[in-house]
Structure 1
Amino acid sequence: MSAATTKVSANEVPANTRRGGDIRVTLSPRTVGCTSGFGGVLRLAAGHHVTEHYHPYSEEFLHVIRGRLEMTLNGGTPVELGPGDSLLVPIGVRHRLINSGTGPAEAVFHLAPLAPRPELGHVDTEQPRDASADNPDVGAPR
């Protein structure tokens, strides 16, 4: 398959639940052979959160599809987000996401550029919700 013709359903890729929520990387070096970044979807139940972490090599682009989310950047005041809102998380900025609404939330994300190796892409600054959970990475060596 080539990246130009590959369609990936979120239900076809494993969920990453290590930091909380249901995070599915749909477009990545592993899934479609892309070379400049990766992205996918996040589903987060009411009251649930994604633990704080940062990306030393990548900016993160987040776009809320449904529900209410709050993103805390560098431990500051939470930024409230709703359907149609987008947020840029700059390289190296610690961030933590919580579903602040009463129902499920869903967002689309993209990170770029890629880290030199997948294991360098995320740095946890808070204990992962489930350290034993499968943590599928975003791809093959670049």
Structure 2
Amino acid sequence: MTATASEAGAIRIVARDEVPANRRRGGDIRTVLSPATTGATSGFFGTLTLAPGEVVTEHWHPYSEEFLFCVRGTITVRLDGEPRTMHADEGVLIPIGVRHRLMNEGGETAFLVFTLSPLAPRPNLGHVDTEPQPGEVTR
């Protein structure tokens, strides 16, 4: 289906800097295109900046596949406990249910883009954390 001129005029362009950084799981995660920013219904798209030594704590997605593409730098992505190195210009598909943790063990800031689809039925069902988040106190 093709958008009409009036529908096309309502399509929003979102700048990365318009979206606040989410640092809850580590790194600088910005969900640029999402239900909240654009009314998306099938998934969302964002960026991740990982400075040297930063991690995104391990988690998994019960409803969504994650497509992750490294634009700049090198990271280690741990998939169900198995470490794999990702360099610039490489991507990986993380299937539904696969635990993953991202680590920048190098000396250069890494920049990645990601998309998840389909959406979880509710935002609070989108991630399952499997390790404490940075700064979280464990007992």
- TM-score, normalised on structure 2? 0.89
Give 1:25 deviation, angstroms. 0.2
1:3 and 1:111 map into 2 onto residues whose CA distance is 26
Q: CA RMSD in A?
A: 1.8
Unpaired runs of 5+ in structure 2?
1-6
Question: 2:50 — aligned with what?
Answer: 44
Give 1:14 deviation, angstroms. 1.1
Question: 2:20 — aligned with what?
Answer: 14
Where do 1:101-120 residues align within 5 Å? 101-120=106-125
Residue in structure 2 matching 1:125, options 126, 130, 133: 130
Residue in structure 1 matching 2:87, options 82, 85, 95: 82
Q: Which runs of 4+ in 1 moved over 2 A?
A: 1-5
* 8 A contact 1:17–1:130 mirrored in 2: no
* 8 A contact 1:67–1:106 mirrored in 2: yes
2:119 and 2:133 map into 1 onto residues whose CA distance is 22
Unpaired runs of 5+ in structure 1?
133-142
Considering Cα pairs closer than 8 Å and 6+ residues apart, tell me whether 1 or 2 has the greater RCO: 1
Aligned residues: 131
